[in-house]
C-alpha cells in the first residue's frame, strides 16, 4: 500500500474507532437511565445523579418509557439515532 493509501486507511480507521466509542458511551448512558427508570426515578433526578444535561436525559427517558417495561437499550438507541437523523435531514432541507 502506498503512503497516501495508508494515511487514508488510518484516518478512516481512526474515525471508525472514535464513532464506535461514542456509540458505546451513549449505549452505557441509555442503560444507566433505564435502570434508574425501573427504580421509578424521574428525568430531573436521573440527570442530576448522572451529571448529564436535563434535555438529554428527558429525551432518552421519553423514548425509553415507550419501550417499558423491557427497556431494550439497543432499540432505544436506534430510535434516538433515527430521530437525530430525521432532525438533521429536516434542518438540512431548511438551510
Segment 71-88, tens digit of pLDDT: 999 999 999 998 887 766
Residue 82, burial from CB neighbour count under 10 angstroms (0-12, 13-18, 19+) = exposed
Cα-based distances in Å from 25 to 20, 22, 29, 31, 32: 9, 5, 6, 10, 11
- Per-residue pLDDT, averaged over 33-58, amounts to 96
What pLDDT does residue 95 have?
45
Q: Is the pLDDT of residue 6 over 50?
A: yes
pLDDT tens column, 30-42 = 999 999 999 999 9
Provide the CB-side half-sphere exposure for 31 (13 A, CA): 7
Please tell me the predicted confidence (pLDDT) of residue 83: 85
Q: How far apart are CA 51 and CA 93, in angstroms?
A: 34
Amino acid at each position: 500500500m502506498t503512503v497516501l493509501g495508508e494515511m487514508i486507511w488510518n484516518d478512516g480507521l481512526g474515525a471508525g474507532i472514535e464513532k464506535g466509542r461514542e456509540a458505546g458511551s451513549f449505549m452505557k448512558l441509555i442503560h444507566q437511565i433505564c435502570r434508574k427508570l425501573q427504580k421509578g426515578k424521574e428525568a430531573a433526578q436521573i440527570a442530576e445523579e448522572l451529571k448529564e444535561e436535563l434535555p438529554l436525559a428527558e429525551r432518552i427517558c421519553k423514548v425509553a418509557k415507550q419501550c417499558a417495561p423491557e427497556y431494550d437499550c439497543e432499540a432505544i438507541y436506534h430510535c434516538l439515532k433515527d430521530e437525530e437523523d430525521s432532525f438533521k435531514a429536516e434542518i438540512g432541507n431548511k438551510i
